[in-house]
Structures are given as structure tokens and as C-alpha cells.
């Protein structure tokens, strides 16, 4: 599902090498980096509580833990 603040393909390409889960790291390749970015941006733009994160991004507590980690 697309949300208003989701990043596009070009923006995703720009930041993907700077995120956790790259090939060769202990966590392997994380395919949901884009979902994480979109979720964090959604929280920041809407100023909503973490618990109000739409479920199609991921579970709010997982995104929150990664955001503060």
C-alpha cells in the first residue's frame, strides 16, 4: 500500500547502502529497509504516536526499536 510520505525508487537507491542489513553484515540483507524508512518518515511527518503506525508498514514496536537503536 502506498502512503503519502513514502519514498520513491530513486530515493530508496540513494539511501540503501547506508542502512543496516547489507550483504556481508551479520544480519544479512534486510529487504524491509524501505518499509522502515517509510514508517519512520510517516511517524515524523504526522507526529503520531508509535502505536498509531499503520500495520502495513510493520509492527510499531519493531520499527520503534530499530529507530531508537
The domain total for the chain is 1
Task: Categorize the per-residue pLDDT at 28 as very low, low, confident or very high, splitting at 50, 70 and 90.
Answer: very low
Residues 46-68: what's their mean pLDDT?
Answer: 91
Q: Is residue 3 part of a domain?
A: no
Q: Is residue 1 part of a domain?
A: no
- What is the domain range of residue 42? 9-68
Residues 31, 20 contacting (CB under 8 angstroms): no
pTM metric for this prediction: 0.75
**Tens digits of residue pLDDT in 8-17:** 888 888 887 7
pLDDT at residue 27, as a whole number: 53
Q: What percent of the chain has pLDDT over 70?
A: 80
Q: Is residue 2 part of a domain?
A: no
Amino acid at each position: 500500500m502506498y502512503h503519502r510520505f513514502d519514498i520513491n525508487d530513486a530515493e530508496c537507491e540513494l539511501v540503501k547502502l547506508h542502512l543496516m542489513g547489507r550483504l556481508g553484515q551479520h544480519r544479512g540483507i534486510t529487504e524491509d529497509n524501505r518499509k522502515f524508512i517509510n514508517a519512520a518518515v510517516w511517524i515524523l511527518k504526522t507526529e503520531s504516536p508509535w502505536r498509531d503506525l499503520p500495520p502495513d508498514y510493520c509492527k510499531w514496536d519493531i520499527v520503534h526499536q530499530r529507530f531508537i537503536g
